[in-house]
Each structure stands twice: as structure tokens, then as C-alpha cells.
A and B are shown apart, each in its own frame.
Chain A
Amino acid sequence: DTAVSQTPKYLVTQMGNDKSIKCEQNLGHDTMYWYKQDSKKFLKIMFSYNNKELIINETVPNRFSPKSPDKAHLNLHINSLELGDSAVYFCASSQGTGINNEQFFGPGTRLTVL
């Protein structure tokens, strides 16, 4: 059973297009995240949701819009894709917002913008 799953695994698209990445967790967790990992492996938090509510938005361009239809799902929609958006995007979840909570990561979505 996959704990945190993401689709698609790979996404290749042209500049200016709009795309979505889907994430689902079956761990019963309350908190979900989106991270961006650049080519140097640096991991940057983008968003965090708790019980379907956005609570962290880390200076991400408005072109990125997360949506959480329920606690188990957190999707990421990206408008007007730019070359700099090329990266690996990870979804993660944790039991809650406790500072000692382990995060469970999905397998990642490798986005390439041409």
C-alpha cells in the first residue's frame, strides 16, 4: 500500500501551459505539504495545509494554486509555466502540526518545462 502517492511521476510541457499534480495520502494524516526540490537537491517548502485549510504559503508566485478537496488530497495547479518551474515537486503529509512529527513523502513529480 502506497502511503503518499503522486501523479504523474513525470511531466514534460511547454512554457506557458497550465498543469496539475495530484497527491493522495492514505495515512489518515491531518497535515499535508508541497515541496520543491531544485537541481541541486535543495528542498523548499511551498505550502502546508491542515484539515483542508491553507496555513503556510511561502512566498510562492500566484501562478501556483494548491487545492485540498479533503484531508486526504492536496493538488497543485500551476498556470503559465516558466522555465524556472522545472524541478521535482514532492507532496508530504504528517499526523498534525506538532514540531516533532515525522513527514511522509511521496515519490515526487519531475516537471520539465521546455
Chain B
Amino acid sequence: AQSVTQLGSHVSVSEGALVLLRCNYSSSVPPYLFWYVQYPNQGLQLLLKYTTGATLVKGINGFEAEFKKSETSFHLTKPSAHMSDAAEYFCAVSGGGSYIPTFGRGTSLIVHP
């Protein structure tokens, strides 16, 4: 069975500050990891994903995430937050015989001017 833990249901940053959203996973097999973003009143869209290969993954809108197997983590970062980054962010893991990803409970990113 797989699980995903997103630390912090809300993260608040100032515009221009570093964004760090934490995700830890549990999986009995090598995981496939995803970050999705949900803007207000919209569906989820993929930011980035890790399957195999390079552990530092770059996504859209300047976001990146690093897969750290030893820490079972896949934290999402962005060097400088924009007001437009305010949204809900979901980490997800798939693998282990099921193609249905397990989603974390989401982290709401709040960006202050």
C-alpha cells in the first residue's frame, strides 16, 4: 500500500520568497511521483512528475522537485513566489500494482504582497 503525507495544510510566503512544499511518501516499490496544482474553481493540472532517471525534476511555472529515496521525500520548490502561484498543491504517488495514484491531502499556498 502507498501513502502520501504533505506536511502543512497551509503555507504562507511573501511574494519573491522561496516556496517549499513538503511531501513524504511510503511505497513498497520504486514510486512514480507527481505534483499537481489546483487553482481556485479549477481542476488539477500536472506541475511535474518523477518516473526514473534524474532525481531533480523541473516543471512548469518555475517549479522543481527533488526525489530523495533515502528520505522518501519529493519536496516541491520555487525560488521566488508570485501572487499567481496561490493555489492548492497536491503530491501523488503511484506504483505497486495500481495505476491509480494516491493523493496527499493538499497544501494551500498563500502568497502575500
A interface residues with partner B (beta carbon < 8 Å): 4, 31, 33, 40-43, 45, 48, 56, 90, 92, 94, 97-108
Q: Provide the bound-state CA to CA distance between A103 and B99, in Å.
A: 11
Asked if A45 meets B43 with Cβ closer than 8 Å, knowing A99-B94, A100-B51, the reply is no
Task: Pick from A40, A56, A97, A106: contact of B43, CB below 8 A.
Answer: A106
Chain B 58-69: CB-based contact to A (< 8 A → 1; otherwise 0)? 000000000000
- Which residues of chain A are within 8 angstroms of B49 by Cβ–Cβ distance? 100, 102
Q: Of residues 69 to 113 in B, which have CB atoms within 8 Å of A's CB atoms?
A: 88, 90, 94-95, 98-101, 103, 105-106, 108
Most buried by A among B46, B90, B103, B108: B103
Chain B 26-68: CB-based contact to A (< 8 A → 1; otherwise 0)? 0000001010101001111110010100000000000000000
Is the beta-carbon distance between B46 and A102 smaller than 8 angstroms?
Answer: yes
What 3 pairs across the A-B complex have the smallest Cβ distances? Answer: A105-B43, A97-B99, A100-B51
Give the interface SS of chain B, mostly helix, strand, loop or mixed.
strand
Is the beta-carbon distance between B43 and A90 smaller than 8 angstroms?
Answer: yes
- Which residues of chain B are within 8 angstroms of A90 by Cβ–Cβ distance? 43-44
Q: Provide the bound-state CA to CA distance between A100 and B95, in Å.
A: 8
Q: Provide the bound-state CA to CA distance between A40 and B105, in Å.
A: 8
Q: Provide the bound-state CA to CA distance between A40 and B95, in Å.
A: 25
Asked if A41 meets B98 with Cβ closer than 8 Å, knowing A90-B44, A103-B44, the reply is no
CB distance from B23 to the nearest CB of A (A): 14
Q: Which chain B residue lies CB-closest to A4?
A: B43
Is the beta-carbon distance between B43 and A108 smaller than 8 angstroms?
Answer: yes
- Which residues of chain B are within 8 angstroms of A41 by Cβ–Cβ distance? 38, 88, 105-106, 108
